[in-house]
Structure 1
């Protein structure tokens, strides 16, 4: 029997209910989608822990009810162990990764234009979704597991010069901030870039923006991460504390682009807009569990001709560009590695805000390395 015909036992850490974020996941066997000829299977070596995982496990966004048990994880890197006959860009033995999206219609104008993350018919999340193009109705399962199966179109090769453990959180977290930084000209048309929130996403945003040649300002609520922000590449740090107006005094119209990576509720968006020069952009990539945007006075948009927008994860091309940029510029994610068997401890620690700045689960049985 060839490796392409081997049936594997799919097992992973499943959230059974909302208490999973407190360390309550259970190791569970599950049934993946039916294998299609444009699918691949990965023997998972690494899986990053993303904030989205916690929101999903806890039902914080209100999207998980009825989807338990749920195996999360959408920053997956592993060895290709099965390849459908219609797959051309991957072969067995390759090291590849998949991010937050694992399928789309592949036929609408957005998919055809290489923006599968904005599929007109809706994307299929790497976990917590339902397949419709193939294996219709099957649930998607993520990477806190031993294997992953899904459409090869959304799976990319990991470049030689990038540590696969550090590549894992770039599949979602890194690409999520790299995409708008590139889109809005960080380092070129946007010389001065502000990053709100120095967390899992924000640390990538500072790293990438600095490497793009931008003058980076980190914007944080407290002084706790001042030194980290500067080590990551920020030229200055603005600490808002409880008096944003005082903190921003003298910094008005000093930035061309702001990436809001924080998911804190009640952020002072009007104050953030005051930092933008005319034609500047404020791009939201972090989502609070409350899910609402505070009132923004129209005059704060009109009188400065500034723009508020959002950006969702990244396309397949975006993931490839992010990984290549990281390799070319020797960008190193700040990663702490946990054995896959300690997933509950890692999730609990991240839920308590202890990560500095990304956690990665390591499957040593499949060749993952706990030490860099």
Structure 2
């Protein structure tokens, strides 16, 4: 049964905060959507994944000052997060060609990319310097983007994903950001090895929201997958997810020697750099291979590594941001083909539901993702 109504298209409603100290208690808020551009798509939201990056933004952990939205001169001083969105197209700008009304689509962490710069044209639209985030991004007119814990979201069609019918909405939601974030570096990091007919070895560090999907995706891509964690507490889960082996860095004594010259790629999905044994990890890489980090810690944390470590294998440390739209479509096709499914707990959206999801995520009480559901019932939508 609906608990609220939305005067769409004049207003959107969502759960937002106006002060980082209230991060765990977003309140239902009404706000005016951005002006509809010719290439914009309105999505009536069905469900939305809950991502750790949203928690960091709400807590203001990635900024030394106030949340950008709270200091903006535009509109209400509030921020609604959420960027693992699945829903139905209910409005099209006059120049939209890729989507049709009623189509089920997804939206990840970006709501806009220019599609004109060299990065966009080279399949790296996630690195577009003019990109606008799905939430807490600022458009040229000063409008601050609002995210997916809401009735609707408006985004440029270049950022919207078509979703295969074979994928369930609450399971594909975490793939919009979390899955895509690990898919892009996995694909780019081992495709040269796969092209030679060699089975690559991939080490996935940190078995959480990102890492558990990385295990499934790397396995589907054809890799030997070794899960790496500080303790053995998640070993059983990692094996169930498809890991071929497990390394507990906090209890095994000579794990780097036992795995020397093993990995074609190390993918760091841990959300903290504290106690990350980077010098030891790099010793397990093959020559000229990469350690890629996608887990983002508190802004004050730093990697610690000796420059001499690199000399042993010519290894490289790097990072990866999200993934391109083309890679998102590839990921969905891979998930449909191999039928891997993120481990998801659903929570009906409401003030209490959003608070529960954020609080439990902050406490680490999740295995391994949350998806907020029941949007149509709560907002009285889903009737178009």
TM-score, normalised relative to structure 2: 0.89
Query: Tell me, what secondary structure is at the counterpart of 2:54?
Result: helix
In structure 2, relative to structure 1, the CA distance for the partners of 1:294 and 1:65 (3 Å cut) is: same
1:37 is aligned to: 38
Higher RCO, Cα 8 Å, sep 6+: 2
SS of residue matched to 1:45: strand
Q: Residue in 2 aligned with 1:319?
A: 328
Deviation at 1:300, TM superposition (A): 1.4
- 1:77 Cα deviation from its structure 2 partner: 0.5
CA, structure 1 residues 42+316, in 2 after alignment: closer, same or farther (shift >3 Å)? same
Structure 2 match to 1:295? 304
- Alignment of 1:105 with 2:107, yes or no, is no
2:376 pairs, out of 352, 365, 368, with 365
Distance across 1 between alignment mates of 2:8 and 2:317: 50
- Alignment check: 8 A CA contact 1:130 1:139 kept: yes
Q: Once the 2 structures are TM-superposed, how far is the Cα of residue 324 of structure 1 from its aligned partner?
A: 1.1
Matched with 1:13 is 15
Contact 1:238/1:248, CA 8 A, preserved across alignment: no
State which of 346, 364, 367 in structure 2 corresponds to 1:353. Answer: 364
Partner residue in 2 for 1:343: 354
Unaligned runs of 5+ in 1: none
2:223 counterpart residue number: 214
Counting only pairs closer than 5 Å after superposition, residues 144-159 of structure 1 correspond to structure 2 as: 144-159=149-164
| Structure 2 residue ranges without an equivalent (≥5) | 1-6, 71-77, 380-384
Q: What is residue 127 of structure 2 aligned with on the other side?
A: 118
Could you tell me which residue of structure 1 aligns to residue 188 of structure 2? Answer: 183
Q: Compute the displacement of 1:366 (Å).
A: 5.6
Q: CA deviation at 1:364?
A: 4.3
**CA shift for structure 1 position 253:** 1.7
Q: How far apart, CA to CA, are the structure 2 residues paired with 1:367 and 1:175?
A: 28
Q: Which residue of 2 aligns with 1:70?
A: 79
Once residues 258 and 37 of structure 2 are traced to their aligned partners in structure 1, the CA distance between those partners, rounded to angstroms, is 58
- Structure 2 residue corresponding to 1:262, chosen from 267, 270, 274: 270
Distance, in Å, in 2 between the alignment partners of 1:35 and 1:104 is 15
What is the DSSP-based 3-state SS (H/G/I as helix, E as strand, rest coil) of the residue aligned with 2:35?
A: coil
In the superposition, relative to structure 1, how do residues 48 and 319 fare at CA in structure 2: closer, same or farther (>3 Å)? same
Counterpart for residue 142 of structure 1: 147
Deviates more, 1:99-108 or 1:158-167: 99-108
SS of aligned partner of 2:292: strand
Distance change >3 Å, CA 164–CA 39, structure 1 → 2: same
Post-superposition shift, 1:291?
Answer: 5.0
Verify the 8 A CA contact 1:192 1:255 in the aligned structure 2.
yes
**Superposition deviation, residue 326 in structure 1:** 0.7
Mapped contact 1:74–1:127 kept (Cα < 8 A): yes
Partners of 1:36 and 1:122 in 2: CA distance? 16
Within 1, Cα distance between the matches of 2:27 and 2:90?
Answer: 25
Which of the residues 225, 235, 243 maps onto 2:234? 225
CA distance in 1 between counterparts of 2:301 and 2:113 reads 26
Q: Deviations over 1:83-137 (max 9, x none)?
A: 1121111011000011011112322110122211111x342111011013xxx21
Q: Does the aligned pair in 2 maintain the 1:45–1:364 contact within 8 Å?
A: yes
| 1:45, distance to aligned residue in structure 2 (A) | 0.4
Please give the per-residue CA displacement for 1:184-219, whole angstroms capped at 9, x wherever unaligned: 126725611000000000001000111112111100
Q: C-alpha separation between the residues in 2 aligned to 1:279 and 1:143?
A: 40
SS in structure 2 at match of 1:175: helix
- 2:136 pairs, out of 122, 128, 131, with 128
